[in-house]
């Protein structure tokens, strides 16, 4: 009886072992006795077991998850505050009995409740229909900030000097970042802009969604009040 030649041992490299473990994630569940024997070098120079390494990684991931959850909670709380302020403002607008009250409500709320230092409300009209609000012609608005109105959406960021001058007048030099929303509904056109001394305050979309809601509500309230203003001049 002749002996069969022995098969040469197959050598596995690290990549093959790693790929095998990826394809068999339950491997150590079946061979858990190996876990304490697996040693991983640590930056301190001391060796730690795989279990200790896994515990450390899970702890670090848990800290990261808790940190991200905390950030989400902060955003949620800020959104709740913005929603409540927006709700109060819209209710005040609906209760306003005159154009004067509408304009006063929007400006007072944004400055006092929202703590916005610079507020600009400009309505577009070929005739000065609103005695207590700043009115400019459509062509003047188009020349100054036309490209900001083209999208019909609320925008935020750093504006050019002539745009700031049009929106904020003498206060333009104090405004470092701006959120701007068009007012447009059934022939009512205008713009509302918020300014901050902080160049980063309006660099992202924070709060701009609520500004869009306010602009939409304001357009409808102004449209309702406009016939009353026209009758008063008649």
Give per-residue pLDDT as tens, 89-126: 989 988 988 888 898 899 899 999 999 999 999 999 88
pLDDT tier for residue 228 given thresholds of 50, 70 and 90: very low
CB 204, CB 156: distance < 8 Å:
yes
Q: What per-residue confidence (pLDDT) applies to 56?
A: 76
Q: What per-residue confidence (pLDDT) applies to 46?
A: 57
Tokens of 211: 């500004």
Say whether 13 sits in a helix, a strand or coil. coil
Q: What are the structural domain ranges in the chain?
A: 14-95, 98-233
Looking at domain 98-233, its CATH class is: alpha beta
> Over 60: is that where the pLDDT of 232 sits?
no
CB 214, CB 178: distance < 8 Å:
no
> Over 80: is that where the pLDDT of 231 sits?
no
Phi then psi for 159, rounded to 5 degrees? -95, 165
Residue with tokens 């697996």: 38
Phi then psi for 118, rounded to 5 degrees? -130, 120
CA dihedral 71, 76, 81, 86 (to 10 degrees): 130
> Over 70: is that where the pLDDT of 188 sits?
yes
pTM of the entire predicted model: 0.67
Give per-residue pLDDT as tens, 145-178: 999 988 889 999 999 999 999 999 999 999 999 9
């Amino acid at each position: 009886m002749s002996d069969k030649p022995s098969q040469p041992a197959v050598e596995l490299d690290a990549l093959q072992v790693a790929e095998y473990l990826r394809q068999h994630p339950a491997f150590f569940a079946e061979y858990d006795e190996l876990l304490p024997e697996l040693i991983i070098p640590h930056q301190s120079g001391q060796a730690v077991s795989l279990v200790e390494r896994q515990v450390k990684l899970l702890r670090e991931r848990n800290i990261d998850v808790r940190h991200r959850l905390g950030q989400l909670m902060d955003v949620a709380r800020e959104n709740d505050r913005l929603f409540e302020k927006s709700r109060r403002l819209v209710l005040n607008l609906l209760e306003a009995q005159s154009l004067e009250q509408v304009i006063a409500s929007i400006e007072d709320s944004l400055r006092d409740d929202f703590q916005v230092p610079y507020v600009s409300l400009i309505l577009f009209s070929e005739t000065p229909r609103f005695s207590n609000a700043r009115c400019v012609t459509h062509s003047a608005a188009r020349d100054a900030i036309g490209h900001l109105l083209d999208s019909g959406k609320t925008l935020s960021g750093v504006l050019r000097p002539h745009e700031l001058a049009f929106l904020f007048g003498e206060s333009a030099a104090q405004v470092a970042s701006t959120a701007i929303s068009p007012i447009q509904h059934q022939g009512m056109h205008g713009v509302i802009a918020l300014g901050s001394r902080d160049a980063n305050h309006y660099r992202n979309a924070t709060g701009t969604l609520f500004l869009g809601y306010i602009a939409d509500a304001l357009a409808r309230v102004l449209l309702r009040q406009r016939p009353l203003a026209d009758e008063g001049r008649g």
